A and B are shown apart, each in its own frame.
Chain A
Amino acid sequence: RKEVEQDPGPFNVPEGATVAFNCTYSNSASQSFFWYRQDCRKEPKLLMSVYSSGNEDGRFTAQLNRASQYISLLIRDSKLSDSATYLCVVTRGGYQKVTFGTGTKLQVIP
């Protein structure tokens, strides 16, 4: 089983829709969780960290469920500019072990 798993998609959603992605992780010792965004043929960039209490940044909400070992990303009122691949990142042992998921592709259509 992979340490971090994501549905590769693509998720094709109309503008204005709400879409959610999940990411599961296998190691219960995982400590920190992040969502990165990667545009086509570009480098990944941090979208948001994921805190135990959940956190929100504008239209984006991230949640962590340690009991079921998954994190989620909810995007409300999708924009065309949200089209990208969303990477789940899990760390443990500080920076000793950083694992990226393979990403979920989102395509927002007009």
Chain B
Amino acid sequence: NAGVTQTPKFQVLKTGQSMTLQCAQDMNHNSMYWYRQDPGMGLRLIYYSASEGTTDKGEVPNGYNVSRLNKREFSLRLESAAPSQTSVYFCASSERGYEQFFGPGTRLTVL
């Protein structure tokens, strides 16, 4: 039982490059989330998916797209990376909207 897994763990991009962050959970949760965490800003919600087939914008969705591929997987795509997207990205899942279980995070640097 791996919980929530994320790939990659680290990534360095150049401005304008694209990439997809992968997230998978094996807890059969309906809800999944993508957050970014920046110093002094706390965790900010980028997108969430209340259930398979639905996605909604969070607090800071600009510059990102998501895909809820199936119940297990929720990916985050940066189409044209910018230095302002340098951050630590966390995926999380939950059931009933209560306790959220987080993945180990992806540390992204955009040069």
List A residues at the B interface (Cβ < 8 Å): 4, 8, 32, 34, 42-46, 49, 87, 91, 94-96, 98, 100-103
Contact = CB atoms under 8 A, between A and B. Distances in A.
Nearest to A98: B45
Contacts of A42: 104-105
Interface in B12-46: 31, 33, 35, 40-45
Nearest to B103: A43
19 contacts: A32-B97, A34-B98, A34-B99, A42-B104, A43-B90, A43-B102, A43-B104, A45-B102, A87-B42, A87-B43, A94-B97, A95-B96, A98-B33, A98-B97, A100-B35, A100-B42, A100-B43, A100-B44, A101-B42
Nearest to B30: A95
Contacts of A4: 42
Interface of B: 31, 33, 35, 40-45, 48, 50, 90, 94, 96-100, 102-105
A44 B90 CA distance: 9
Contacts of B50: 95-96
A98 B100 contact: yes
B40 A44 contact: no
Given A43-B104, A95-B94, A102 B41 contact: yes
Contacts, number: 47
Nearest to A31: B97
**Secondary structure of the B contact surface, majority rule:** strand
Nearest to A89: B100
Contacts of B96: 95
Given A95-B94, A101-B42, 5 more contacts: A8-B40, A44-B43, A95-B31, A100-B43, A100-B44
Residue among B45, B98, B105 facing the most chain A CB atoms (10 A cut-off): B98
B30 to A, nearest CB: 9
